[in-house]
Amino acid sequence: MRGEINHPRYILATDLDGTLVGSRSALAEFNHVMSIHKRNFLLVYVTGRTLLSAWQLILGENLLHPQVLITDVGTEIYTPPWLRADAVWDGLMASRWDEGRIRSAIEGIAGLQEQGVRARFRLAYYTDKTRFQEVIAGLSESLRKAGMPATIVPSMERFIDVIPAGAGKGPALQYVQEFYRIKREDTFVCGDSGNDLSLFSKGYKGIVVGNAQRELIESVKQLSQEAYLAKSHYAGGILEGLRSYGMID
């Protein structure tokens, strides 16, 4: 990781769709509050979107520009000074990824359809909700039989990502957190759906927004780490959570 930035004390890492983005009025308040506190926080966006799609959303919704951008469900990290791909993380992902063998291992699984997402270290699929658990089980078994370690990330009982073993939003954020030497207890994570779960399993302080999917709420309740279940939706839930932790007025 190359970037040198002013060293903040805290990390605020948030998913985009359904977490930060969803209410224009709440987002405007978030932008105002975070502009006041920007010196205190390393702002990290953690998204399932590709780099191009993430920037289209950032510009289209007038989001604050992040200092670090994690895309493709935690398989790519873009860092200062110009948000370029982090070479060390890229190398780690490449060493754990063989797309051809993984495709061969899982082809023919009934009900599994590609999303058409082009990514270097990720295969993105969707399936019908009625077959979701069956497809997940089929994926796991096919990868096991092929001896292909990989991480399966389910979300919203419909979407499924296959990414390198040890990858994910949580591991990518941990890489960033350790690089900047910011304490775990000074790292705040925000999410709304299943592909955010790994953010909540690293010992960080969690904020689950009020509109979150039941899959995330129930899973977070089973974890031992600290998490605040907000009542407010979208960016309003993030602000509510930060206030509950005493981070903002």
Q: What is the residue range of 140's domain?
A: 97-164
The reply to whether 204 and 115 lie within a common domain is no
Q: Per-residue confidence at 108, pLDDT binned at 50, 70, 90?
A: confident
Average pLDDT over residues 125-152: 95
88 and 172 inside one domain = yes
Clarify whether residues 124 and 147 are in a common domain. Answer: yes
Q: Are 68 and 169 in contact (CB under 8 A)?
A: no
How much is the pLDDT for 80? 82
* Structure confidence at residue 3 (pLDDT): 52
Residues 44 and 147 in one domain: no
Same domain, 23 and 86: yes
CA atoms within 13 A on the CB side of 58: 21
**CA-CA distance, 81 to 206, in Å (whole number)?**
28
Axis-axis angle for helices 99-106, 132-146 (nearest 10): 120
pTM: 0.95
State which H helix or E strand residue 11 sits in: strand 10-14
The confidence score (pLDDT) of residue 6 equals 65
Give the number of other Cβ atoms within 10 Å of residue 208's Cβ: 25
- Percent of the chain residues past pLDDT 70, beyond the cut: 98
**Which one of 164, 183, 214 terminates a domain?**
164
Task: Read off the pLDDT of residues 30-72 as tens digits, 9 standing for 90 and up.
Answer: 999 999 998 999 999 999 999 999 999 999 999 999 999 999 9
Are β-strands 113-114 and 150-155 bridged in parallel, bridged antiparallel, or unpaired? Answer: unpaired
58 part of a folded domain: yes
| CA–CA gap between residue 23 and residue 200 (Å, rounded) | 23
Per residue in 204-214, pLDDT tens?
Answer: 999 999 999 99
